[in-house]
Amino acid sequence: MWQKLPVWFRAVVLGLTVAGVPTLVWGLLATVNLKFTPIVPWSAVAMAAVLWVYWRYLRSDERLRAVPLSQQKWQLALIAGGLGVAAVWAAFGSLRGVLHIAQPAGDISRLPIWTIAAAILMGSAVAGVAEEAGFRGFMQLPLERAYGPVVAVTVTSIIFTAIHLTHGARILPFLPFYLVVAIIYSLLTLITRSILPSMLLHFTGDVMMFAFQYANRLKTGGVGESGRIEIVPAIAAVVLGAASAVVFRFLARDGRAATPAGVPVVSH
How many domains in the chain? Answer: 1
**N- to C-terminal Cα distance for the chain?**
25
Residue 106 pLDDT > 70: no
264 in any annotated domain: no
213 in any annotated domain: yes
Residue 102: pLDDT band by 50, 70, 90 thresholds?
Answer: confident
How large is the average pLDDT for residues 30-41?
Answer: 96
Question: Quick one: pLDDT at residue 264?
Answer: 40
Residue 168: pLDDT band by 50, 70, 90 thresholds?
Answer: confident
194 in any annotated domain: yes
Residue 226 pLDDT > 70: no
pLDDT tens digits along 234-262: 999 999 999 999 999 999 998 775 554 33
pLDDT tens digits along 169-225: 889 999 999 999 999 999 999 999 999 999 999 999 999 999 988 887 777 554 556
Decide if 81 contacts 201 (C-beta within 8 A). yes
74 in any annotated domain: yes
Residue (of 152, 224, 216) closest to 189 by Cα position:
152
263 in any annotated domain: no
262 in any annotated domain: no
pTM of the model: 0.91
Question: Quick one: pLDDT at residue 234?
Answer: 97
The DSSP line for 189-217 is: HHHHS-SHHHHHHHHHHHHHHHHHHHHHH
pLDDT tens digits along 5-19: 999 999 999 999 999
3-class SS letters over 104-144: CCCCCCCCCHHHHHHHHHHHHHHHHHHHHHHHHHHHHHHHH
Residue 268 pLDDT > 60: no
Range of the domain at 171: 2-257
Question: Quick one: pLDDT at residue 260?
Answer: 43
32 in any annotated domain: yes
268 in any annotated domain: no
Helix (H) or strand (E) holding 130: none
Residue 265 pLDDT > 60: no
Decide if 75 contacts 256 (C-beta within 8 A). no
Kindly report the average pLDDT of the chain as a whole number.
Answer: 91
* 54-57 LR contacts (CB < 8 Å, sep 24+): 54/21, 54/22, 54/129, 54/130, 55/129, 55/133
Residue (of 137, 256, 107) closest to 198 by Cα position:
137
